[in-house]
Amino acid sequence: MITIKVPATSANIGPGFDSLGIALQTYLTLEIHEETAEWVVEHTMGVAIPHDATHFIVATARQLAPDLTPHRLVVKSDIPLARGLGSSSSALLAGLAMANELANLQLTADDLLTYATKLEGHPDNVAPALFGGGVAAYFDGQHVYHAPIHFPDNLQFVTYIPDTQLLTAAARAALPAQLDFKTTVAAGAIGNTLIAALNANDFETAKHLIEADKFHESARQHLVPHLAQIRTLAHDLGIVGTYLSGAGPTVITVAPAQAAQKLLTALKAAGLPGTCQQLQLDTTGLTIQKED
Ligand SMILES: Nc1ncnc2c1ncn2[C@@H]1O[C@H](COP(=O)(O)OP(=O)(O)OP(=O)(O)O)[C@@H](O)[C@H]1O
Ligand SMILES: N[C@@H](CCO)C(=O)O
């Protein structure tokens, strides 16, 4: 049996629209069992997700290796669908990694990243899902340039996951067609300074920049009114560092352990519909384990 494990991811980290992301310790696991006449995908993810060759993971794998021999697969995932925690990127990478293994394609991690980014359109979820940790990445249409971002060790990620889904396509439809030059220069400067501050272990500077996005959050505000609500709640506790995770609706606050615990308690008491949890950074990324 081959087991492929892929972490959840949170893209943007505020100002890093389509270019920054982190991997989190919540996982999708794909088990590849015996060969079968037709593809069989066992999962408990609901009736909307198919059990045959049309399953997203199999369809993605067959894009890379069309003649792949069918197998029985078992998919287990703690990553909620369409919530801004990169469920589609994790599933997509699991499919590509499966094709690479079963068809012995010998693709490198960078090859997989390029292929995955072409399918996703942007690298901010697939890069951290593949490599783990924080990643900054840029796709020029051919090549993905990427580099790690350092996150200070004591940081926690307080995560509010609403009950309702928000498809990435819907949240992208809300984006502005254009940004003026001055705003764009500021938006770029904020992202650059955030990365520099994190890499310098300066979370005091970084936390303000996490909340200073000018690319996407205000355009999406009407779809995620709880973002402003959670920011206010956190500010009342003296905690800064809240952003919209990916395309939403999940909201994450980055905070040192003690503050994170305080915020988690307050969030639970606020009774927002959904789940609140504290997540840690995954530093490993996609792993493949083989057993006889
Ligand atoms: N494990 C999976 N198995 C099958 N289909 C999946 C799986 N994970 C995601 N999908 C498909 O991807 C869709 C969600 O993708 P979408 O890009 O909208 O959200 P997301 O990846 O969870 O969020 P974001 O990209 O904002 O972080 C699901 O509705 C489903 O069709
Ligand atoms: N950067 C993407 C992440 C979701 O795929 C967005 O915010 O739309």
- Closest ligand 2 atom, residue 11 Cα: 3
Residues in the chain, pLDDT under 70: none
C-alpha span between 75 and 212 (Å, rounded): 38
Q: Would you say 40 and 52 are in contact if contact means Cβ atoms under 8 Å apart?
A: yes
192 membership: H or E segment, kind and range: helix 181-199
ipTM entry: 0.96
In this structure, which ligand is nearest to the CA of 213?
2
- 37-95 pLDDT, tens digit per residue, is 999 999 999 999 999 999 999 999 999 999 999 999 999 999 999 999 999 999 999 99
Long-range contacts of 260-265 (CB under 8 A, 24+ apart): 260/155, 260/156, 260/157, 260/158, 261/156, 262/237, 263/158, 263/233, 263/234, 263/237, 263/239, 264/158
Burial of 292 (0-12, 13-18, 19+ CB in 10 A): exposed
Annotated binding site for ATP: 80-90
- Of 74, 88, 93, 126, the residue with max ligand 1 atoms within 8 A of its CB, to mutate for a pocket test, comes to 88
Distance CA 112, CA 105 (A): 11
- Ligand having the closest approach to the CA of 21: 2
Cα 23 to Cα 126: distance, rounded to the nearest angstrom: 9
Q: What is the pLDDT of residue 124?
A: 98
**Which of 35, 34, 38, 67 is closest to 55 using CA atoms?**
38
Residue 68 DSSP label: P
pTM value is 0.97
pLDDT score recorded for residue 292: 77
Ligand 1 lined by 82 (C-beta under 6 Å) = yes
Among all ligands shown, which has an atom nearest to the Cα of 82?
1
Work out which ligand 1 atom sits closest to the CA atom of 171. 26
Mutate to test the pocket of ligand 1, among 81, 92, 227 (most ligand atoms within 8 A of CB): 81
- Ligand 2 contacts CB of residue 124 (under 6 A): yes
